Structure 1
Amino acid sequence: MTDHAHQLLRRAARRWRGGSLWPYFWLATVVAGTSAIGITQLQWPGWILFACLTAIALALLLDRNWRLSTTEICRKLDGRFPVLQDSSQLLNNPPDTLGSLAQVQRQRTAAALQQLRDNSALKNFRPPWHRNAVANAIGASFGLMVFVIANTLPQSDAPGQMPGAQAAAAAASIEVVEAVTEIRPPAYTGLPALTQSLQVKAPEQSRITWRITLNTPAGALTMLAARENFAFSPKETLPSRHWQLTRTLPEADFYQLSVHSGQEEILLPQIHNIEIDADRAPEFSFSLPRDNVTTINAGSEASSLLQVDVEVTDDFQVAETDLLITLASGDGENVRFRNDRIKLEPTDTAEGAKRYHFNMPVKRYQIEPGDELYWFLQARDNREPEPNPQKSQHFIIRWPQAEIFGLSDAEGMAIKVLPEYFRSQRQLIIDTEALLAEREQLSEGDFRKRSESLAHEQNLLRMRYGHFLGEEDSALEHDDESGPHHEAHGESVDAHGEEQEDHGDHEDHGNHGDHGDDHEAPAQQFGDASGVIAAAGHSHDTSEHATLFDPQTKELLRSALNAMWSSWRELSVIDPRASLPHQHTALRYIKEVQQASRIYLQRVGFEPPALDQNRRLSGERDGVKPPRVNTTRSDSEREQLLKLLQRVRADDPLDDGTAEELLSLPQLREQPQLRVELSKSLRLYRQQADCTDCRRQLSALLYQLLPAPQAQPSLPRERATTGSFDNWLQEQGGGRE
């Protein structure tokens, strides 16, 4: 029992001493972790960890709680737990040295201490953690860290800017002792390697190697380009003075050098340009042909007109040149196209130039009058990995047809065709045959209605082709001509032809009068428009005066119109079967007219018939909701640039997002050189806060990017309510009545 009581006292003492050391252990762990992160990530000095641990060790030495004797610990037990009855010291004495009464009290104290241990009351037997020594250690460590953080923060307010005096002093302490830039142009250029300094000018796709020597060793060297950063490779063990970097540059760029010395990053202020000479595409110089359009007539010498003499030049070398030909044959909707590519062989070769002299290979095609041949050259240089293709100007070779109309310059006539729902002669034949096939299934009324409809469309088609013979008026004249005139036309095809020939001399549709006779014209009645036409019109509506066709073509077209009149007559009397031969005759004459002439008809859009008014606004509108209109208005590109220009002129700092948004403007994609200059000015403006020249240069570039203002609608000027000329006249006594 005696040994067990002494062990209980020793355990209580160990708990007290361990509780005294526990705050120092946790504080040292936190300080060590924070210092390690600060040293590796935040560029804190290395002495911060040693200083903090020294402060903790000093506080630990000054703290007596973990060095108390057993007697003092017994006093702490008696003061903390009254159940021990101030008898803890008896547990520290051997039982042989105690009297019988003291032994009994010792046994009671040991039992009470055992009960405290079983109830976990001894877990809190330790000194308070916020005692003076621990608080002093925490305060000293925190103060050291605040001091280090305050000294390592940048002094400038704007992000991306280095401290002015500190950066200047650091940059002045590091210099580039030697800089050699080796440029190796691409192999296809044939240019030798050359050496330059930090300012680089090289051909496109050159392999550039920078070799830089610093005056002091550095831990790292970085090239800060316009869009990304590139790390130099050391040529010796770190820290090194000699660095090397190799890049392949497809476009212009600029860069700065950033040196890592110890825990500091020093940005050298000089900005160096990289100018790239782009590989230009080949160029063409034609000696022959001298004109873009060549016309080969029947009696001309074709061989002299088909010669081509051209020189193709390039800044390095012309790889190959092809001849691309497109032959257009046929007319109307039957035009056929044939494409060919022919590789040309040079007749003379020089450095960066090739000359080609050849005749157009027209004999390999079956060329007919009316055909056209379009051709151009396509050259490629020896650029790698992809060549630069370039097309020459286009040329046209024409073989004109024999003139049919006696017009030397006219290739045709453009007229507006009728809407889509007017049938052609071929469609009328198909519809008439369909009507005859359905005769047994149709009632008499339906059969009559469809026949009259075909007659009406046959009449419209006849008037359409009648325009080519000068029949200018259609509906007005034929409305005035009643049944007797139509019956006269219906006697026979020959009679209609004779009447048509005498149309301009005798009848002129019954209203125009005779331009060649001395007969007195009938009196004009009110509302009769035919007299106005006869008085103000001219004689181009007479078929004999129409100069569009030659006499043979006029006769063919007149025969087609006669056949159409005969077809209309038979359809009007509800005899479709008798109208079919006349329709086929009209179609045959129309095809002959088309073969004899080339008439280009202008295509027009579909003109639907008028909508039935009873059906308007009769649809279902359930579930139909009006579209949502976004009333929010975002600033235009010009307004955004103007706001940014005001910020620059006010010397406001620009963040990374604003710089990236500015460099992504659409107009900069087509101007890479301007984008490089703008990126360089932005970097200088953000790095040097007090640079007036940088601010002025950036403002000039932003002003250059401003798009032209859009024209805004304006209200008309209001007339002055006073001081008018009328008021002045009234004051003078001569106002208007």
Structure 2
Amino acid sequence: MTALLARWIAPARWRALTDTWALALPLLVAAGTVGWRLGGPAFALLLVAIGSAIAFFIARRRAARFDRAWLVRSLDNNRPELEDSSALLFAQHAPLAPLQVLQRDRIAARIDHGTPKDLRPDWSRRSLLAFSLVAVAVVVVALLWPRPGEGPPTLAPALEGLPARPGIPRLIAQNLRIIPPAYTGMPVRDSASLDARAPQGARLEWTLRFDPQASAPRLAMLAGQPPGLRRDGETWIASRTLDASFLYRIDPADARGPPPPLHRIDAIADSPPQVKALSPTASLSMITPGQRSWTPIFAATDDYGVAATARLRVTLAIGEGENVTFSEREIAVAGSGPARDRRFAPRLDFASFGFVAGGDMVVQLIVRDNRSPAPQEMRGPSLILRWPSAKQPESSGMEGMVNTTLPAYFRSQRQIIIDAEALIKQKRALASDRFVTRSASIGGDQQILRGRYSQFLGGEEEGEPESPTADGHSEGDGHDHGGPPKQPSAGFGAPEDVLGDFGHPHEDSPASSLDPETRAILKQAVNEMWQSERELKQGRPDLALPFAYKALRFIKEVQQATRIFLSRVGPELPPIDATRRMTGKREGLANRTLGIAPVEGRDGPAAAAWRALGDGPDAIRGPIALGALEAWTRTNAGRLPDALALTGAIDAVRSDPACTACRARLRAQLWTAMERPLARPARRRPVDAAGARYLGAIGAAP
């Protein structure tokens, strides 16, 4: 009986579902159209999604009404041959009496003569027609309704402040439409003022009206090519792309009458995205026991939005000493959160990257903004995760002291060559592992010697501070052999102990005392030592000898250089004549006072104009030659605090040379634009009583 119930109810429920969705479809179309016109595609999809959820809920509620009770009522009302006993066909749990069982068997054969589709509800034709008409009306209105910034603008009264003159056109109404670039997501807006600030790359459209009607108005720009005005009925229209800030004026009468005021358009440049690390806050982190993955968290912000995906550069450094291998790869990372403030939290699995003990993992996030074309790219800070390897057993006793100390004092580049040649001769008599061990030992000596010479190039020390004592280096030979051995630290936390044990001040290192030619030769010697060390540590002394010989040749070249160390003392003063001390004799002494000459910086035209606009002896009461000042302003526009304001002040003085307020405004602008003057030398104090007595005693006039 359950199958029979489902067979008779299913057509009715399916009709209810399809009828509900047929009624909802016109309304969803209307909602999507309104959302697209108001907020764009994203808002339209949001409205359609909400409407679909509501329609689905209503459809399920309507379909749920067609149950067993509905079926029994419908069969009893539409099938007289069932004798109002259709409930017996679908009785499930209640036991039936013998008479009821007999009646059920009688009508069971009769129900198959009908079809379940006969009980389906009719279509909601009238409602469907009404909803369709309403949806069509909403769609038409939404499509015809102008968006902000579409259609003819509403003109605002002009605020030029010019008096009306018979026969001379003047601006009476105006509108400035600003259409930002699509990537900014900013809406189109109309400005009643002709002064505005807009994103760089925006489209500017002027709509102007004149009274009486102008014949050839123009947009006069102080710099650059002005856009042309075209007539459209009673209005004049001009447009251009905002590439840089500029000043302009609207001249309706072709220079007849007083000059119109200047207007200013400021271009707001798109700032590059900013990236910062949220977790971890320190640039270097150590791995924790049992850690198998790492999730650094970055925050990327931008004024108009960051791209939804970024690139994460992962660099692995695996190994220790000279056996370090580097690998680099980039992976795509998806961000979360709003476009202007996204979060990137990639999960880095150590196994997939091959990150093991004794290595460093360096990550750096690279993001882009949504600027189109040419998006701006910014790289974030680098974060390092270090996985220390198990500590090697440290040597102790006299054996460890000899292994780390003797090579520093007694090994030289010549000795390394001699040892390598001797080892090559003994190769046949030595076991292979013994041969490799002795070669690696010589390579360790080469490494220590390379560290001694590297400190002269600004590198960190490797071993004891004493430099090699061979290859012609000896006391008094003119070379710097380093200071005395380091003394024991004064105690834990002492500042001098920290500097002496863990670093050195680079301004006092020998690297600052090498001339460029000698430094280049010494760098080549260190490079050859490194090649020799690499081959020796790999058990190949025969391949290391050519590099060792080259290093020795470069070292000899450095020793024979005409000048190695620069003077690090003060100026060499002439010797003092002891016979004239305390005698008061002044013969042969000359006045060594240096004359102070005025220095004219790169603000010459600005300084001249500033003096001419003042009240001093250089002031000019009449017209001032402003051509050089304009050229100076264009040349130095990048460093001036407000180049447009200075240009406007120059134009005001040119238009009305007798305007006192304009001249004062230009002078103030020049003062802020010029470089700050250097400090003047202090005057010598006048002679006091004690000084006068001293000068009198030695026979000098005060």
The bucket for the TM-score relative to the shorter chain is 0.3 to 0.5
Answer 1 or 2: higher relative contact order, Cα 8 Å, separation at least 6. 1
Hey, which of these two has a bigger chunk of helix by percent?
Answer: 1
Bigger-Rg structure (1/2): 1
Scaled by the length of structure 2, the TM-score of the pair is 0.46
